[in-house]
Amino acid sequence: MRGSRRCRSIFQLICQAARNRKCIIFVGSGLSSAAGYPTWSELLDTLVDEAKKVPNTPTEGLDKDIAAKDYLTLADFARSRLGPSQYANVLKQLLNKPVKPSVAHDVIAKTAYRGLITTNVAASGQLAQDEQHQPGRDRHGSQQPLPTVPLVQDQRP
């Protein structure tokens, strides 16, 4: 019973923080999987599979990175083997499709949160469709022409 009361107390504190615009939401790729976008692991599986098809691609140690779920290393491997143009094409095939935002997207878009931090390209795009959404700044972990691991911060006025 004590744990249940504590959970309610924490939940109430989070709700109060959100109402007072003192809540920042952090979301990842799992948020958009319900809408039909791939998860990080699905995205990387496809990118790595495509990269392996490039002639003379060294795959030594790749199984270890896959088993360790070292997604940043796998993304770097795919980007370096595919090159910017093919890498972009694979991402477009996976992410550039019409989907219906999930209930979670709708709730986040209608909540008066102070900010949104995400590694989720799809979430930032879907939330931008909301007329109240004020776009923030994009930050990318790479100087490549295409974002590989975007971090999008959205701050509403």
For residue 116, the cross-strand partners are 25, 154
Q: Tens of pLDDT along 9-64? A: 888 888 888 888 888 888 876 788 888 888 888 989 999 999 999 999 998 889 99
Closest CA to 104 of 8, 151, 34, 55: 34
Residue 127 has pLDDT above 50, yes or no: no
Domain regions of the chain by residue span: 21-37+99-157, 41-98
Q: Can you give the pLDDT at residue 143?
A: 30
Looking at per-residue pLDDT, the higher value among 122 and 130 belongs to 122
For residue 129, the cross-strand partners are none
Q: Can you give the pLDDT at residue 119?
A: 67
Find the DSSP H helices in the chain. Answer: 2-19, 30-33, 40-52, 62-67, 71-95, 103-110, 121-128
Residue 140 has pLDDT above 80, yes or no: no
Its pTM stands at 0.59
In the chain, the percentage of residues whose pLDDT exceeds 70 is: 73
